[in-house]
Amino acid sequence: MKNILNDSLFKNGIYIFIFSMSANFFNYLFQIAMGRLLTVSEYGILNSLFSILLIISVPAGTITIIAAKNISHNLAISKFNEVKKFIKNISLKVLFFGLTVLTVYFIFIPYLMDFMKINVFLYYAILGVILLISFFFSLLMGILQGTKMYGIYGLTGSLSSACKFVIAVVLVLLGLNIAGALLSTFIAQIAISLIAVIFIYNYFKKITSKQTINENNGEVSENVLTIKYFLLVLFSLFFYTFFTNIDLIMVKHFFSSKEAGIYAVSALLGKIILYLPASFAVVMFPEVSHAHALNDKTKRILFKTIIITTLLCFFGEIFYILFPNFIISTLMGSKYLKASPLLSLYGLSMFSFAILSIMVNYYMAVQKYFLLFLMFLFAILEVVLISLFHQTMVSVIFCVMTTGYLLAFISLINIFYDDILIFLKKIHLMPVFKKREI
């Protein structure tokens, strides 16, 4: 117990976990408020739009990973000037990249309107401005993560969620409804970005005096802003976001808005399982990147993170199995009780994606590409399964669950293949084996 409590991954993970729970608390207050203030159909539309936002903002998420990876590596070898140069260079590229993605998005809006059966252009326009600001917000979060400013990282996330909740309630009560709920995200990100800039500026002002120390220690600084690594991060985040959100979009396509609203509630509450261990993935990424830069062991960090994730998800799922009606009626209201048969199943499906989230972060930290190929294949499989088996919402969840568990299992086997063989040899189940390099 003493070793666990003194472990840096555990301590920093708990630190981020507390802030994450605060952020999740306000996120769920936001969802609860919207579920009660909007009609069931409007709530279904809102969550479908947010699912689109999550998918189209994946390119912005790549900025967080690239910034965290580059900064954590160069700080590990005391290349302070390289960090500053990187931030200056990437800021201009983020602006250009964000405008490019925004242009492509606006071209596809008519097709989205037709597929989603939501014909209000204003909603998609608001998503566009949120998309643009999310590029800069993601860069700031990547800088905070890479510098291991975990307290500020957690604080900004928590404040962003709190601001979004308060602003959304005010705007919806003023009669803006769905548009007001969407605008709250944009306004909150603008406000919190300004706060994050102040903390980052002060951090680099403090380390200026250290620039001459170990600046020429012979280590080679790393620039991960390469096409190869960019594509690894982009498609890894895209496919992961795709896996965890495409079901909401397809349900909106195959079912009525009211049914989509019921499904959205089961997804909203079920994804608590997914978000419970997210704070440990945030801490694991720079820790693994740091260890990888120093040629230190990384799988030990991964294994500890998986154990923590499994325990958190297990206890979370128990509550869904025992108290589905109580959870839904208390948080969302009795009009959503039809979602209770779906809740435990959806939570169980998110168990695998919580593990997969850890694996995605690990593969990106050590710059391995095997999982990316698998995610591409399984993304196709998930769409095919839902397209074929969407007779009921339960069957849709089983499609999500099938792809999630298969992908998580294969990725775990790939990483721990040699370790499993060594374990089997020790217990005399496999006396002869050939070691395989991963």
Mean of the pLDDT values across residues 236-252? 84
CA-CA distance, 26 to 20, in Å (whole number)?
A: 10
SS3 state at 255: coil
DSSP assignments along 1-70, one per residue: -HHHHH-HHHHHHHHHHHHHHHHHHHHHHHHHHHHHHS-HHHHHHHHHHHHHHHHHTHHHHHHHHHHHHH
Three-state DSSP at 225 gives coil
What mean pLDDT do residues 315-338 have? 84
DSSP 8-state assignment for residue 367: T
Chain-centre distance for alpha carbon 400: 17
Instruction: State the Cα–Cα distance between residues 17 and 12, nearest whole angstrom.
Output: 8
Instruction: Please say whether the beta carbons of 225 and 362 come within 8 A.
Output: no
Closest to 355 (Cα-Cα) out of 423, 392, 401, 389: 401
Range name among 11-15, 165-169, 417-421 with the lowest pLDDT average: 11-15
Given a cut of 60, whether residue 430 has pLDDT beyond it is: no
Amino acid at 264: A
To which residue do tokens 């909106």 refer?
252
- pLDDT at position 86 over 50: yes
DSSP class of 205: H
pLDDT surpassing 70 at residue 84: yes
Residue 15's pLDDT is 66
Above pLDDT 70, what percent of the chain?
88
Of the spans 216-225, 228-237, 315-324, which averages the highest pLDDT?
A: 315-324
Q: What mean pLDDT is reported for the chain?
A: 82
Check: CB of residue 55 under 8 Å from CB of residue 32.
Answer: no
Indicate if the pLDDT at residue 280 is higher than 50. Answer: yes
Query: What pLDDT does residue 215 have?
Result: 47
Domain ranges across the chain: 2-426
In this prediction, residue 216 carries a pLDDT of 45
Band (437; pLDDT cuts 50, 70, 90): very low
pLDDT at res. 174: 92
What residues have CB less than 8 Å from 60, skipping those under 6 apart? 98, 101, 131, 134, 135, 137, 138
Confidence of residue 286 (pLDDT cuts 50, 70, 90): confident
Q: CA 67 to CA 9: how far, in whole Å?
A: 20
Note the pLDDT of residue 40. 80
C-alpha span between 276 and 71 (Å, rounded): 26
Q: Considering only CA atoms, which of 108, 118, 127 is closest in space to residue 182?
A: 127
Q: Which residues in 47-187 belong to E strands, given as ranges?
A: none
∠ CA 91-97-99, nearest 5°, is 105
Per-residue pLDDT tens over the stretch 145-164 = 888 787 788 888 889 999 99
What does residue 248 show for φ and ψ, rounded to 5 degrees? -65, -40
Indicate whether this model's pTM tops 0.75: no
